[in-house]
Amino acid sequence: MRDFPSCFGENGVQVAEASSSSGDPITPTITNKIAQNLVTCVYQCKMLNFSCFIITITWTKNLMGQSLSVQIDDSHNHCLCKLDIKPWLFSKRRGFKNLEVGSKFIAIYWDLSYAKFGSSPEPIEGFYFAIAMNQELILILGDMEKDAHKKIDATSLAPNGVLISKRAHVFGKKAYSTRAQFCGRGRVHDILIECDTVGVNDSYLLIRIDGDPVMQVKCLRWKFRGNYTILVDGLPVEVYWDVHSWLFEKLMGNAVFLFRTCLSAEKLWASEDPSWLSKDRHSGLGFSLVLCAWKNE
């Protein structure tokens, strides 16, 4: 159980500063303040010629405001570009950025002028964020697609991006919540984790999906690590938990929860058989959600 992802390390997170279009070197910075609210989403995208790209989007919120970082990697894990957007600055709440990387022309569009946020730094509604490559739209996020299409200079407006991974810091006293899309472009679900570690005999862990209880662990002090399989959208989802730090460490650490599906990539695009998927055919590529839960005392 200690081998599954520990949500960006024990004491903080590492955030790489984004480069400008001039191609300046990336300078990594270490953020040791666990109060930083951070959500990282990883999307797998493909073009019409079956070229595959991994797009990592990190939404951050701290005392200075909110920011958005984007990294685009090719199928060989080679970073094509990084970009940092700070939408709390009035001039950057809406805009676009054109980048030229070798033979690839990348256009990034965003509008966060009317974005609405909950407890997470990831916006809920009232925004769009889109990426086009060589005039093909490969990823679009948000509920303002019509507005985005008016701004995007692209010949193809049918994105193929699939969310494959999400990592988030969540905060609370006994309840911790987030949202996740377990299957491709399927339904977005509300996830609530209720955990009481105070009582010796009655400590418990309860997980709800869209308000319905799907898993409960009693006598948590004896079962502080474990795994269980639940069903979401008819798919098996493995749930791993580790609350050892909450129960037994003097310095209050974080609990880690992992939700992982085993849906393969070819099921996400069942109607096609792209050549770039051949090497992933037996990898069990699916969706994973890692929650790093911190207690607000």
Quote the pLDDT of residue 238.
Answer: 93
In a domain, 139, yes or no: yes
Give yes or no: residues 24 and 152 share one domain.
Answer: yes
- The pLDDT assigned to 29 comes to 32
**Interacting residues of 292 by C-beta distance below 8 A, sequence separation 6+:** 6, 7, 8, 167, 168, 169, 170, 254, 255, 256
Mean of pLDDT over the chain: 77
pLDDT tens-place string over residues 23-73 = 333 223 333 344 468 899 999 998 888 889 999 999 988 777 788 999 999
Considering the chain, what percentage of its residues have pLDDT values greater than 90? 33
Strands 288-295 and 162-172: parallel
Instruction: Report percent pLDDT > 70 for the chain.
Output: 75
Structural domains of the chain, count:
2
- The pLDDT of residue 295 is 83
User: Do residue 155 and residue 172 come from a single domain?
Assistant: no
Give domain status of residue 22, yes or no: yes
Q: Is there a single domain that holds both residue 172 and residue 223?
A: yes
DSSP state, 173? S
| 155 and 236 together in one domain | no
**Which of 160, 177, 212 marks a domain boundary?**
160
User: Are residues 190 and 61 both part of a single domain?
Assistant: no
Please report, for residues 67, 111, 163, the alpha-carbon distance to residue 45 in angstroms, rounded to integers and kept in the order given. Answer: 23, 21, 9
- Domain of residue 232 covers 168-295
153, 193: one domain: no
Which runs of consecutive H residues, i.e. helices, occur in 4-114?
none
Are 117 and 232 part of one and the same domain? no
Q: Which residue has the higher pLDDT, 152 or 284?
A: 152
Per residue in 89-123, pLDDT tens?
A: 545 688 889 999 888 899 999 998 888 988 788 88
For position 200, what pLDDT does the model report?
61
Do 156 and 173 reside in the same domain of the chain?
Answer: no
What per-residue confidence (pLDDT) applies to 67? Answer: 86
- Are residue 150 and residue 172 in the same domain, yes or no? no
Question: Domain for residue 241, yes or no?
Answer: yes
239 pLDDT more than 90 = yes
pTM exceeding 0.85 = no
Cα 147 from Cα 101, distance rounded (Å): 27
Last residue of a domain, one of 160, 177, 195: 160
Distance CA 54, CA 56 (A): 7
Question: Is residue 275 domain-shared with residue 221, that is, in the same domain?
Answer: yes
Give a yes or no: residue 3 inside a domain.
no
Same domain membership, residue 270 and residue 178: yes
Whether 105 and 179 share a structural domain: no
For residue 250, the Cα-to-chain-centroid distance in whole angstroms is: 30
Q: Do the domain assignments include residue 188?
A: yes
User: What is the predicted pLDDT for the residue at 297?
Assistant: 65
Question: Which of these three, 120, 138, 160, is where a domain ends?
Answer: 160
